[in-house]
Amino acid sequence: MIENILQLIYPNVCGICGSISKQDICNKCYVKIRKLQRNKKKIYLTKHFTTHMYLFDYQDIIRQKILQYKFNEKTYLCRGFAKIILNNEKICGFLKTYDIMTSVPISKKRKRSKRIQPK
């Protein structure tokens, strides 16, 4: 019951367009985002880095949402990103070949310089 009351006061919104939605990404935005998927994989022959796989080109709405997630404390966007990743068989198959996946840390200087205001 408390959850229902909270939903009335603070309804779930789509992480992309901000419209009220029970899902983390509304159906309209999910269709748009799926069209932007690239599923690219690059092989590198360096000592520390061998493979780079990414779902989207880092531009436009994708870049904007990633920056908001990373630097504007919109951590709720992770649920929508996770849904997109977990619904992609190619990416999941790729991830299963590794024991550990980790983030790439950012320097404090770069973090300060990337603190942005959403457009």
Report residue 86: phi and psi, to 5°: -70, -20
6, 7, 11, 17: which one binds Zn ion (CB under 5 A): 17
Give 31 or 106: the residue with its C-beta nearer to Zn ion.
Answer: 31
Query: How many Å apart are CA 56 and CA 118, to the nearest integer?
Result: 19
- 10 Å Cβ neighbour count for 96? 8
What is the closest distance, in whole angstroms, from the C-beta atom of residue 91 to Zn ion in the complex? 22
Which residues ranging from 29 to 68 are in contact with Zn ion (CB under 5 A)?
29
Nearest alpha carbon to residue 22 among 70, 83, 63: 83
**Strand residue runs (E) in 1-119:** 40-43, 51-54
26, 55, 67, 77: which one binds Zn ion (CB under 5 A): 26
What is the closest distance, in whole angstroms, from the C-beta atom of residue 87 to Zn ion in the complex? 16
Report residue 54: phi and psi, to 5°: -145, 150
Site size for Zn ion, by CB under 5 A? 5
What is the closest distance, in whole angstroms, from the C-beta atom of residue 44 to Zn ion in the complex? 35
Positions touching Zn ion (CB under 5 A) are: 14, 16-17, 26, 29
